[in-house]
Amino acid sequence: MLTYTLISLFAFAMSAVCGFIMIPQILSFCKKRKLYDTPDDRKVHKNAIPRLGGVSFMPSMLIATIVALLVWVYTSKGNKIGVSPWSIFFGVGITIIYITGVLDDIFGVKARVKLLMQIIVASLLPMSYLYINNFYGFLGIYEIPAIIGMILTVGVLVFIMNAINLIDGIDGLSASLTLIALSGLFYIFQREQIWVYCILIAGLMGVLIPFLYHNIWGKEEKNQKIFMGDSGSLTLGYILGVLMIKFCMYNPNVMPYQRGAMLLSVTLLLVPTFDVFRIIIVRLLHRKPLFKADKNHIHHKLIRAGLSQHQTLLSVISLSAIFIIINISLLNHLLVTWIIAIDIIIYAAFHYTLNIFIRRKGLLPFTVQE
């Protein structure tokens, strides 16, 4: 186990080094080509910022993962790593969604086309016989029919990709929440000694460190600040979604039955997914277009409440950590359905309190923006 842990740390370090090398090169490229994320009414930033930070994610992760796997094979005295059908489909899917994100960041891609690409890559999972097949007691449901699980898998993966994309509204938020989720997944797969996934996760976690450094602390005047763009958020969302579904699918040949699989998956991405659900419900209640962009996400509301970007970032990270602590603490004491119901009540109470605070400060009139 120690050897595999060291190999995972090696993948993490190599990916971080690749990121620190690539991101300055990407910044120079953006400056020469004038590829900037320009501010508008719904965005928080005030100046034009390079938006291709996510371009570094996939190459850094792949380089680190491949080298680490080669080291693993060498240290395992010639043991080979099998390539399963889902691994091939995963490689195809991540390539398609990464290229889609890059094209969108450089040239712009229509929302309908992006959604179509998301559906296509999500559909690759059921085609490789990877899909949600068990609810682990949520709403009293355990095993579900394959066709329902396959359709649900496509919807869940598309939803997660968009949730990670939509939460990417202030410096460091999407990457930080992804880092938290990846840390949880790393622990889960490490506990089950599924080291290939651990190495892949470590390879992705590593590149997020240099990105966060440039995204949060990079100086605009020195051309050091960068956004991840859709190339980053879509890639992160796709990988997170695939790993979550891999963990949720009950397959005794891969890992034993995990009573808390569904709950842990929801918990690790609770803030971005609940935020999207809240936005959808509010728009439906007030008959607003579902796909029209606005400034009603959790980070927008915290900023309207008077917090700075960094304070907002810390607040949302803290909220995510609180939900993780609560859910893990309750896992062995309550049914999954009741725990998620408690999460919903806490999240609703948080927003209700935030709305009252904003109104009392006179920062937001009583409108459907809530």
Cβ–Cβ contacts within 10 Å for residue 264, how many?
23
Q: Is 355 known as a binding-site position?
A: no
- Dihedral sign, Cα of residue 110, residue 22, residue 236, residue 224: negative
- Distance (Å, rounded) from C-alpha 155 to C-alpha 157? 6
Give me the residue spans of the domains in the chain: 2-256
Nearest of 237, 370, 194 to residue 295 by alpha carbon: 370
- Distance (Å, rounded) from C-alpha 312 to C-alpha 305? 10
Contacts of 282 (CB under 8 A, 6+ apart): 288, 296, 368, 370
User: What pLDDT does 367 receive?
Assistant: 43
- Distance (Å, rounded) from C-alpha 298 to C-alpha 95? 31
pTM given for the model: 0.93
Q: Is 79 known as a binding-site position?
A: no
pLDDT tens digits in sequence order for the chain, 370 residues long: 658 889 999 999 999 999 999 999 999 999 898 888 776 655 565 678 898 999 999 999 999 999 998 888 877 765 666 667 778 999 999 999 999 999 999 999 999 999 999 999 999 999 999 999 999 999 999 999 999 999 999 999 999 999 999 999 899 999 999 999 999 999 999 998 888 999 999 999 999 999 999 999 998 888 899 999 999 999 999 999 999 999 999 988 878 888 889 999 999 999 999 999 999 998 888 888 877 777 889 999 999 998 999 999 999 999 999 999 999 999 999 999 999 999 999 999 999 999 998 888 765 443 444 4
User: Is 223 in contact with 32 (CB distance < 8 Å)?
Assistant: no
CB-based burial, 161-193: b 16+ in 10 Å, e otherwise: bbbbbbbbbbbbbbbbbbbbbbebbbebbbeee
- Distance (Å, rounded) from C-alpha 181 to C-alpha 184? 5
- Distance (Å, rounded) from C-alpha 169 to C-alpha 337? 31
DSSP state of 364: S
Nearest of 226, 367, 203, 212 to residue 301 by alpha carbon: 367
User: What pLDDT does 268 receive?
Assistant: 96
